[in-house]
Structure 1
Amino acid sequence: MRVLPSGDRALLVELADLDEVRGYYAALIADLPTDVVDVVPAARTVLVTTAGSLQSLSRTLRAVSPAVGSRMSADLVEIPVRYDGEDLEDVAELLGCTVHEVIARHTADEWTVAFCGFAPGFGYLTSPSTWEIPRRESPRTKVPTGAVALAGEFSGVYPRESPGGWQLIGRTSVQIFDSGRDQAALLHPGRRVRFVDAGRG
């Protein structure tokens, strides 16, 4: 673990891998110092912003022990998906299985938002299963709002129309990001997600 300065109000904690990030984030959130303003996990780092002393924050962050095997949050959201994505058959071929098996596997897993990024409300979801899906060789210029996709070890839901190179397996009508809500982003680090099969048509 390394703790590095990031401007005059934040420190960046570098960790070994995504599992360590999740454990570190869970432990930090469980006993959050009162002067911490924001905590932002990513794939290999946790950014911590404070209203207090960076020196004091640095000591606190170095003393955090990543929680092993703990959940970052107990809340669960179900997202209905119509599995009719343009890349669904390609994903099945990559995995050496049928389309039905891809859907069954995607809905059987309980996913967890590891971190957010790329666009407001876009959560990078991981699961206990091993998913290694390559990104498209040629990204699309427009991925529709609500597209459910896979890339590498992650699944995700596009919160708005944007370019993207993930493999599209379905779509949802659930509003992933709404600036008019009290909590604009439906998906936040630690939230558990279950995808529910809503058919293909």
Structure 2
Amino acid sequence: MNPEYVINPLGDSAIIVTWEQRIDPAVHAEVMKTYYHLRSLTSPYITDLIPAYASLTIVFNITQLRYSGHKPAMQWMMAWVREQVKHPENRDIPAPRELHIPACYDPSLAPDITEMAASRQVAINDIIAWHTQTVYTVYLTGFLPGFPYMGKVCAALETPRRKQPRLQVPAGSIGIAGAQTGIYPITSPGGWNIIGQTPLRMFSTTAEEPCYCRPGDKVRFIPVTLEVFRQIQQEQ
């Protein structure tokens, strides 16, 4: 039996398919099955597909639908999407990419790691070990171009967002918010707890793929020293 989902309009030129709202690889697999299936159809009406933790937004060209005689356009598109989502069990998801992302957890780059360790009465090395022991799934990118939302961190690392966001979080900063971990691709205000930094560029307008991570990727953080961090940073 397929997991339950609902399909609703989102504005006048988008539809959202929503599954049970939880961070769960099984739910996300349904999102990605539908995402890849719709992408493979190369529909002339679809202009964008946006996967998230437990939903898929389908943006379409309502003007083109109307000119093609599909009226009322929203109702036609809703019916078409509903038909496509019916049987995702026979659709394959491409094998996920496995990314090893270097991460420096030196307190000079990780302004919240010392407090996180102290609040748990553990050493900083324990925080590092907990964060690097998990292979994370990239569930979506958003907030900033290329910001990967990943999960789940182990229960010992779960931490609410900061009550007072910072006005400036450096690009490459690795943060935790609730059960999620993520990487700031550009310098930005932010309220996640910063426990490290990667020297890799997570977003580049000149790269063939501007976003370093994409939904479905599997990510493992590899701890590096501050010296190695600086060396990689200079090579970017």
Same fold (TM over 0.5): yes
1:94, CA displacement in angstroms?
3.9
Corresponding residue to 2:83 among 36, 59, 62: 59
Corresponding residue to 1:102 among 122, 127, 130: 127
* Alignment partners' CA distance in 1, 2:96 and 2:32: 11
> Structure 1 residues 168, 71: closer, same or farther in 2, change over 3 A?
farther
Counterpart of 2:146? 121
Q: Which structure has greater helix proportion?
A: 2
* Alignment partners' CA distance in 1, 2:199 and 2:28: 29
The answer to whether the Cα contact below 8 Å between 2:169 and 2:190 also exists between their aligned partners in 1 is yes
Answer yes or no: is 1:13 the counterpart of 2:37.
no
The answer to whether the Cα contact below 8 Å between 2:36 and 2:93 also exists between their aligned partners in 1 is no
Counterpart of 2:159? 133
The answer to whether the Cα contact below 8 Å between 2:33 and 2:93 also exists between their aligned partners in 1 is no
The higher radius of gyration belongs to: 2
Unaligned runs of 5+ in 2: 66-75, 228-236
* Alignment partners' CA distance in 2, 1:101 and 1:66: 40
> Structure 1 residues 95, 50: closer, same or farther in 2, change over 3 A?
farther
> Structure 1 residues 72, 10: closer, same or farther in 2, change over 3 A?
farther
Amino acid corresponding to residue 42 of structure 2 in structure 1: T
Answer yes or no: is 1:49 the counterpart of 2:59.
yes
Work out the number of aligned pairs and report it. 198
Counterpart of 2:201? 175
1:200, CA displacement in angstroms?
4.7
Describe the superposition over 1:31-72 as per-residue Cα deviations: whole angstroms up to 9, x where unpaired.
3333144321224421023466513123212x14479xx977
Counterpart of 1:26? 32
Corresponding residue to 1:186 among 212, 220, 226: 212
Describe the superposition over 1:61-100 as per-residue Cα deviations: whole angstroms up to 9, x where unpaired.
2x14479xx9774211111111020100122234443210
The answer to whether the Cα contact below 8 Å between 2:35 and 2:51 also exists between their aligned partners in 1 is no
**Bigger relative contact order, structure 1 or 2 (CA pairs below 8 A, ≥6 apart):** 1
TM-score when scaled to structure 1?
0.87
Amino acid corresponding to residue 16 of structure 1 in structure 2: E
The answer to whether the Cα contact below 8 Å between 1:139 and 1:163 also exists between their aligned partners in 2 is yes
> Structure 1 residues 66, 138: closer, same or farther in 2, change over 3 A?
farther
Unaligned runs of 5+ in 1: none
1:30, CA displacement in angstroms?
4.4
The answer to whether the Cα contact below 8 Å between 1:114 and 1:125 also exists between their aligned partners in 2 is yes
Identity %: 29
SS of residue matched to 1:196 = strand
Superposed CA RMSD: 2.4
TM-score when scaled to structure 2?
0.75
SS of residue matched to 1:190 = coil
